[in-house]
Amino acid sequence: MTVSGLRERKKQRTRDTLVRVALELFTGKGYERTTVDEIAAAVDVSQRTFFRYFASKEEVAFAVQQMVEERFYEALVERPAEEAPFDAMRNAVLSAWDTIGEAIEAVVPVELHLRMFQVIESTPALLAVHLRRATEMEERIARLIAEREGLDVDADPRPRVAVAAFSGVMRVTGQLWGRGTELTVCAMRDLTETYLDHLGPALASEWRD
Amino acid sequence: MTVSGLRERKKQRTRDTLVRVALELFTGKGYERTTVDEIAAAVDVSQRTFFRYFASKEEVAFAVQQMVEERFYEALVERPAEEAPFDAMRNAVLSAWDTIGEAIEAVVPVELHLRMFQVIESTPALLAVHLRRATEMEERIARLIAEREGLDVDADPRPRVAVAAFSGVMRVTGQLWGRGTELTVCAMRDLTETYLDHLGPALASEWRD
DNA sequence: CAGGCTAATGACAGCCACTGACAATTGACA
DNA sequence: TGTCAATTGTCAGTGGCTGTCATTAGCCTG
């Protein structure tokens, strides 16, 4: 995991500091009103160095998010083969939510990450990037699902369609959570569960109970 | 529709020319390799004037797309009330596809718009904006669906969930179409139809036939 | 049709994200 | 310790975008 060598450790420390400071500034005074120069100055590195760690100002905003997504993917890989595709995805998110906390805390306070999520949802430029990243993850998941079921992603529409529907719901819950007032991991988890359970009924031809 | 007055007509003409020239440059040499200065110079206006017509370089890329989306929304408004929500959306896209051609041609050649769509799908910065715009439209649609069914969007999850699933599928078809070789409105229409029909089966718990 | 009003434009200066190039520094390792 | 390579800082430059102000050009009234 951790590589020995002063050089590597120093680099990791600089990176982590950049992420933490950036998130503090973004959540504190807003993404757009924070300049890269400010972040670099606060960490005491040159602006050029910032761009050697992160390809763009946006990228640093998603550093923690990245970890969380990887966690979900791994959870999905580990779902038993007998679970139906949609159930596997559903269970993977829910179980990932339960163990994500510590992983985040290793880099930044969980509360900071949650507030950053809100900033992402409410900042047009970041929201756009967030959605694009989500589609990249979708493609990975679709391939994984297809593999699980022994199908060809490009021949059978079902893997991509199932994933698209699933992550569409995930996106809606993310939005609603961001707008709401219960900014806890727990609230997020419950909202996710509720909305996923409504997907079947929502596609039914008759909505009247 | 059209406002008399030399001033208004001149403005409309400048705007249309900016859109057409921009799309030609974007599709010809790529979005990133085209500068705003180039577009402005080609239309013989100052860069400052370009930014008085479009808030950003991205915005001009979506000018035609905007029209198409509005067309779909109107088609949805006109669906009969007895159609189930999901069917209404499905029929609205399909019927919109049939009449969109002429509307586009009024501004730019349809072929140019189709190639621009491909550029959007394959340019990360544009894809991100495209997805964000899509979610804004989703919100509008969810409200419309809720109204149709006499529901409260914020109380009942089904409108947003149904729309999310629907537009997730639409997004996938858009991607696949862009990657494919059949760059015609017709191919797009058929692909859309096929994939929408697979949504039900994709959510089923058993994929084996 | 003269002259005043206002919308539209151009010219200019400046901010910020980002990049290439080169020199200076600093771990790593023989 | 000295050499090598990775990391960093500096600087100059590009491109997207904005504020400001003077100029131009359609419009409208008398």
What are A121-163's pLDDT values in tens digits?
999 999 999 999 999 999 999 999 999 999 999 999 999 989 9
Which band of pLDDT confidence, cut at 50, 70 and 90, is reported for residue B117?
very high
Mutate to test the interface with B, among A89, A121, A140, A160 (most CBs of B within 10 A): A160
Task: Give me the helices (H) in chain B, please.
Answer: 6-29, 36-43, 47-53, 57-61, 63-77, 85-105, 110-122, 124-148, 158-179, 185-197, 199-203
Strand D contact at CB of residue B7, distance < 7 A: yes
Distance CA B148, CA B164 (A): 17
Question: Given an 8 Å threshold on Cβ–Cβ distance, is B165 in contact with A165?
Answer: yes
Overall residue count recorded for chain A in this entry = 209
Contacts of A38 (CB under 8 A, 6+ apart): A25
Residue B202 pLDDT > 90, yes or no?
no
Of residues B86, B167, B205, nearest to A203 (C-beta): B86
- What's the rounded Cα separation, in Å, for the pair A61 and A65? 8
Look at residue B90 and tell me whether its pLDDT is greater than 80: yes
A155 Cβ contact list (under 8 Å, min separation 6): none
A47 CB neighbours strand D below 7 A: yes
Distance in angstroms (rounded) separating the CA atoms of residues A28 and A7: 31
Interface of A with B in 69-128 (CB under 8 A): 84-87, 124, 127-128
Q: Virtual CA dihedral for A138, A140, A145, A149, nearest 10 degrees?
A: 140
How many Å lie between the alpha carbon of B123 and the closest alpha carbon of chain A? 11
Instruction: With a cut of 70, list the residues of chain A below it in pLDDT.
Output: 1-3, 208-209
Which structural domains are found in chain B, ordered by start? 6-56 (1.10.10.60), 62-203 (1.10.357.10)
pLDDT above 90 for B113? yes
Residue B193 to residue B209: CA distance in whole angstroms: 21
CA distance A184 to A193: 15
**CA–C1' gap, A3 and D1, in angstroms:** 26
Give chain C positions with protein CB within 7 A.
7-12, 16-21, 27-29
pLDDT at B2: 55
pLDDT at B98: 84
Nearest protein residue to the C1' atom of D26, measured from CA: B7
Note the pLDDT of residue A199: 86
Chain B: give the shortest CA distance to residue A123, in Å: 11
Residue B75: pLDDT over 60: yes
